[in-house]
Structure 1
Amino acid sequence: MHLVAYLKTGPTARYDGGWRHPEATLDDFLGAERYQQIARTLEAAKFDGCFFADLLGLQDIHRGSYEAVLRGGGQVSYLDPMVVLPIMAAATRRLGLGATLSTTFHNPYHLARWLGSLDVLSGGRAAWNIVTSATDLEAQNVGMDAIPPKDERYDRAEEVIEACCALWDGWDDDAFVLDKRNGVFADPSRVRYANYEGRWVRTRGPLSIPRSPQGRPVLMQAGASDRGRDLAAKWAEVIFMVQRTKADLQAFYADIKGRMGARGRAPGDCAILAASTFVIGETESIARERADYLRSLVDPDIRQARYSGHLGVDLTRLKDGEDIGGLQANQGIHGSRMVLEQAMRDSGATLPEAAARQGDGDEIVGTPGSIADRLQDLFESGACDGFIVAPTYFPGMFEQFCRAVVPELQRRGLFRKEYSGTTLRHHLSS
């Protein structure tokens, strides 16, 4: 089983209202020690890694303003993860470290340089969560009028990934000679131009960043659309899936593994991880009480604001029965729409109602033993290869999970007790 933590550079990550919990820390979310400490906690529990979700801006689709998101403590990246991750790398030796970076807004050379540097600096522990982005607000923040059409974004993404890999592969492992006596620092014959040219991007190279111990950063992806699944089947080594039910998880899992097989990739070439969050109690009743309390902290308006941002549509202005397809234009995250459609199917709620409620009941609630039972069942039934663990509140839920649930998984032989290698790619393959 693989475990990867979901993080944000702010007080809330996926669970709206978690920052209001009495034990949630708020005075440190702009400080380095917060991120170093969670990295140490995750590494002590032998997590494969962690990654930061990110957005290039403040969500202002809901009611046409960012007021609700800021006032209510919505999910905002208050620091650039690419500045935070090296700080975490310095505090750890084994934990994988991932950043979310867009193929739509960045050119391949910069991406390869940033991520390659992090990979070398961390000793081969970097990951790239590949996104094509989905909102006009991000596009406008980088000088574009609007987000490009979805197919165009995926066409460009394919080329950006290919170009980055060509740049990373332009260095051999043994390029540095470091021969003081003969005055040979590096062997130029072991470094090559990329000379990549596609329809959307081109780069000459060579990259000035040498090869890392794991060769190049691990590639992550979370697309749920047909194009997203195809991209994942071709490139991804970790997939983050957000399906709600066991049957939906199994269907997605089988689909991706089938697409990988059609491309000649083995099932073990990619770990498919299910999004999860937990409420842990000493007894089942205590856990349920804690879950009820956490839900009471969630402002439905903030949750609706988050989904307005994810869909690219102000849900407060949606008329009864109106389809959002025409309102989205090129915007919107397919996975978020799919989750809401599943919730509407299960509950009979309208889209705005489902967005305001989404997350209630999705937590895995119970004792360490019953939670381990649930994770074991999903893992062994072909629903996933492990879990993306997001906090209800920070850092308490991570600390509880690492202290109580991880040892139970280890006792059952489902999760490592020690790292057997030093790189993230090794963690994911072992």
Structure 2
Amino acid sequence: MSRQIKFVAFLMAGPTCHHHAMWRHPETENRFLDAAFWETLARTLEVGRFDALFFADAPVFCNETIMARGGQMSLLDPVPLIAIMSRATSRIGLGVSISASFQKPYPIARLLSSLDVLSGGRIACKMVTNDRAPQTCGKDALLPREEAYDWAEDVLRIYRDMWTGWTDGALVVDKASGEFIDKGRMRRTEIAGRFVGERRMFTVPPSPQQYPVIMHAGSSPRGRNFAAHHAEIVFTLQHSLTSMQEFYADMKGRVDKVGRSTDDCSILVSVEPILGETESIAREKQAYINELVDARLGVALVSAHTGLDLSQYPIDKPISDIPAEAGSRSSFDVLFERVKASNLTLGEAARRFAASELCPQVVGTPESVADQLQEMFENRGCDGFIVTPTEMPGSFEAFTRSVVPILQKRGVFRKEYPGSTLRETIKS
């Protein structure tokens, strides 16, 4: 079979995803507290043959402006939503962010494995190596970056050891003999890591895919090495085909270097499709939704991402005049690089960031959007896409109804799921 595009839907249990004016769009339903809404959305994405849907999580309000102006937040824990959506579907994968920092491995491994069993082997977990809000885990501060990845290595080693502790035939359930579990087919986890350890038998039998698919999104050198060793799906945010190709080649090289098949690690880039009946209508839709972004919210968002308090600067101050000597500079540096030649003000630059968090807005008719996605895919910019909405649920309804059939007709996207588990789907 020829190489096939992969699609994962990006979701949050709140007012927005990457576009921070999503909840203000006239056609957004804002039913994020309604279980029936999420069930219907999951069925829509499964009809569109998406590999998976994925919930990012923001368990606390980053700051009062983001809270008050409807920025990126999770009003619900996504784990119950995953459980609900699994009951409404039978094939689509279901991904969720899980913090590897601070929390003991056993209860998280048990939760994920239970979901995986009950969904028929369709769960994925994205390893978050440093929780945004350590206070939610009873801690006062974040771990240093390198230490956070060391902790995550310990945790993942324990997860995998527990998840593979049941061998075939361990669960007997023989009424006649009275044997329930063959203890000779069970392995006890005995791991003492640098940060965490476990010594016990794991209680959850394996799912049809044995254990959850591992996702990751780190872009630092250490994050890329972690993904190369462990991730089956890697998320990345790149803003040009050239940067996509550079990241793709680098990650595939790292995967090969550690002795894994490059086909066992799929690289997915974030895109924000905006569709119209004509090119001009699509551009009008793009301009309309982008104009709804609140500049104050944008400044608060960039501040939260960078650790720099940008609210102290006038909103009309040129971005090139703002110092950035402290804090985490990654998002700020990307933002600065893209706008420094445009002489934008802080407010203008922040609004651009809040319109998509710098992932590409792929704009046009269904045919031209399909062309753009296919070009990125066929030119080895990625193995597929994280599709993020600008209105809910309309963005996904329009995409599955109009773009997916074009890609299916061209033979670059599946018409049917290859099997029942997520691991079967992503390997097809």
TM-score by length of 2: 0.93
Quote the residue 1:14 is aligned against: 18
Quote the residue 1:198 is aligned against: 193
Quick one: which of 4, 9, 29 aligns to 1:5? 9
Quote the residue 2:100 is aligned against: 103
CA contact (8 A) 2:296 2:347 kept: no
CA contact (8 A) 1:276 1:364 kept: yes
Q: Does 2:179 correspond to 1:184? A: yes
Q: How many angstroms apart in 2 are the aligned matches of 1:407 and 1:379?
A: 17
Q: How many angstroms apart in 2 are the aligned matches of 1:294 and 1:401?
A: 17
Question: What secondary structure, in the 3-state scheme, does the structure 1 residue paired with 2:127 have?
Answer: strand
Q: How many angstroms apart in 1 are the aligned matches of 2:122 and 2:138?
A: 32
- Counterpart of 1:14, as a letter, is H
CA distance change for structure 1 residues 146 and 353 in 2, over 3 Å: closer, same or farther? farther
Q: How many angstroms apart in 1 are the aligned matches of 2:235 and 2:342?
A: 25
1:97-146 per-residue CA deviation (whole Å, 9 max, x = no partner) reads 011011113221122111111111100000001111364xx013332221
CA contact (8 A) 1:134 1:312 kept: no
Question: What secondary structure, in the 3-state scheme, does the structure 2 residue paired with 1:272 have?
Answer: strand
CA contact (8 A) 1:343 1:349 kept: no
Q: 1:272: how far off?
A: 0.3
CA contact (8 A) 1:372 1:409 kept: yes
Q: How many angstroms apart in 2 are the aligned matches of 1:392 and 1:253?
A: 26
Quote the residue 1:63 is aligned against: none
- How is 1:133-282 mapped onto 2 (pairs within 5 angstroms)? 133=130, 135=132, 138-282=133-277
- Counterpart of 1:370, as a letter, is S
Quote the residue 2:111 is aligned against: 114
CA distance change for structure 1 residues 428 and 144 in 2, over 3 Å: closer, same or farther? same
Q: How many angstroms apart in 1 are the aligned matches of 2:131 and 2:240?
A: 25
Q: 1:151: how far off?
A: 1.0
CA contact (8 A) 2:29 2:392 kept: yes
1:293-324 per-residue CA deviation (whole Å, 9 max, x = no partner) reads 11121112212222222222222236975553
CA contact (8 A) 1:316 1:352 kept: no
Q: How many angstroms apart in 2 are the aligned matches of 1:292 and 1:352?
A: 17
CA distance change for structure 1 residues 92 and 398 in 2, over 3 Å: closer, same or farther? same
Contiguous gaps of at least 5 residues in structure 1: 61-65
Quote the residue 2:51 is aligned against: 48
Q: How many angstroms apart in 2 are the aligned matches of 1:338 and 1:42?
A: 34
Quick one: which of 269, 294, 305 aligns to 1:310? 305
Q: How many angstroms apart in 1 are the aligned matches of 2:378 and 2:337?
A: 24
Q: Does 2:85 correspond to 1:88? A: yes
Q: How many angstroms apart in 2 are the aligned matches of 1:410 and 1:333?
A: 41
Q: Does 2:134 correspond to 1:131? A: no
Quick one: which of 365, 368, 371 aligns to 2:366? 368
Quote the residue 1:427 is aligned against: 425
Quick one: which of 373, 376, 379 aligns to 1:378? 376
CA distance change for structure 1 residues 425 and 227 in 2, over 3 Å: closer, same or farther? same
Q: 1:70: how far off?
A: 2.4
Identity %: 46
Question: What secondary structure, in the 3-state scheme, does the structure 1 residue paired with 2:413 have?
Answer: coil
Question: What secondary structure, in the 3-state scheme, does the structure 2 residue paired with 1:204 have?
Answer: strand
CA distance change for structure 1 residues 183 and 55 in 2, over 3 Å: closer, same or farther? same
Q: Does 2:260 correspond to 1:285? A: no
- Counterpart of 1:403, as a letter, is R
Quote the residue 2:295 is aligned against: 300
- Counterpart of 2:189, as a letter, is A
Q: How many angstroms apart in 1 are the aligned matches of 2:147 and 2:321?
A: 30
Q: How many angstroms apart in 1 are the aligned matches of 2:308 and 2:100?
A: 23
Q: How many angstroms apart in 1 are the aligned matches of 2:131 and 2:203?
A: 31
- How is 1:298-377 mapped onto 2 (pairs within 5 angstroms)? 298-317=293-312, 321=321, 323-326=323-326, 328=327, 332=328, 334=330, 336-337=331-332, 339-344=334-339, 347=342, 349=344, 354-358=349-353, 359=355, 362-377=360-375
Question: What secondary structure, in the 3-state scheme, does the structure 2 residue paired with 1:185 have?
Answer: coil
User: More displaced, 303-312 or 285-294?
Assistant: 303-312
Q: How many angstroms apart in 2 are the aligned matches of 1:158 and 1:341?
A: 33
Q: How many angstroms apart in 2 are the aligned matches of 1:47 and 1:333?
A: 34
CA contact (8 A) 1:242 1:339 kept: no
CA contact (8 A) 1:6 1:53 kept: yes
1:207-259 per-residue CA deviation (whole Å, 9 max, x = no partner) reads 11111111110000001111111111111100111011110010000000011
Quick one: which of 52, 58, 62 aligns to 1:59? 62
Q: 1:352: how far off?
A: 6.8
Q: 1:283: how far off?
A: 0.6
Quote the residue 2:70 is aligned against: 73
Question: What secondary structure, in the 3-state scheme, does the structure 2 residue paired with 1:106 have?
Answer: coil
Q: How many angstroms apart in 1 are the aligned matches of 2:322 and 2:336?
A: 14
Quick one: which of 30, 36, 41 aligns to 1:33? 36
CA contact (8 A) 1:11 1:394 kept: no
Q: 1:346: how far off?
A: 6.1
Over the aligned positions, Cα root-mean-square deviation in angstroms equals: 1.8
Q: Does 2:416 correspond to 1:412? A: no
Q: 1:351: how far off?
A: 7.0
Quote the residue 1:24 is aligned against: 28
